[in-house]
Amino acid sequence: MPTINDAAADFLGSRRIAVTGVSRDPASHGSNIVYQRLRERGYEVFAVNPNATEVEGDVSFPDLASIPGGVDAVVIGTRPEIAMETVRECADLGIKRVWMHRGFGGGSVSQSATAYGRESGLVVIDGGCPLMFDPTADTGHKVMKWMLQLTGNVPRNV
């Protein structure tokens, strides 16, 4: 099993990243913060929300298959019960890197989706946030990473 640091470096080495769960109401969703930061840091980032055609001033896609040219990695920022559907779509599309967002609380992590993804050959990061790791990190997220590793919400290995 790779360490979280190695898996995060590989994930963030991807340049085309989809973020699921990006909302039309940006103030209320962590997915929007992840989406904004990735975009600010030069990633080619794609919002996925089946109920919106535009978020954050950008086109939103109803699913991963609709993204022209595909993506290299996916951040899951939806409810955990939707994670399995997204992980299955990643496996079907050949997307090998998946990050289930989790800060305080349960976040988007689904144990069954994690197991399915790993059995399908995907690297699944089941907790934490891409903003806790360089080159996207800030001081606040680094402190949260340290605290959440103590509680298990940021895994040490994936």
Query: What does the pLDDT read at residue 27?
Result: 67
CB proximity list for 96: less than 8 A, separation 6 or greater: 73, 90, 121, 122, 123
DSSP string, 110-129: -HHHHHHHHHTT-EEEESB-
Q: What is the pLDDT along the chain (158 residues), one digit of tens a residue?
A: 789 999 999 999 999 999 999 988 766 668 999 999 999 999 999 999 999 999 989 999 999 999 999 999 999 999 999 999 999 999 999 999 999 999 887 789 999 999 999 999 999 999 999 999 999 999 999 999 999 998 888 998 99
Bridge partner residues of 126 (DSSP): 100
pLDDT of residue 105: 76
Nearest C-alpha neighbor of 47 from the set 92, 17, 91: 17
* H runs (alpha helix) in the chain: 4-12, 30-40, 80-93, 111-119, 139-151
Q: How far is residue 89 from each of residues 6, 44, 74, 122, 137, measured CA to CA in Å?
A: 24, 20, 10, 12, 28
The domains found in the chain, sorted by start residue, are 4-151 (3.40.50.720)
Per the confidence metrics, is the pTM higher than 0.75? yes
**pLDDT for the residue 82:** 94
pLDDT of residue 24: 84
Q: List 123's β-bridge partners, or say none.
A: 97
- Report pLDDT for 28: 61
Compute the distance between CA of residue 66 and CA of residue 131 in angstroms, rounded to an integer.
26
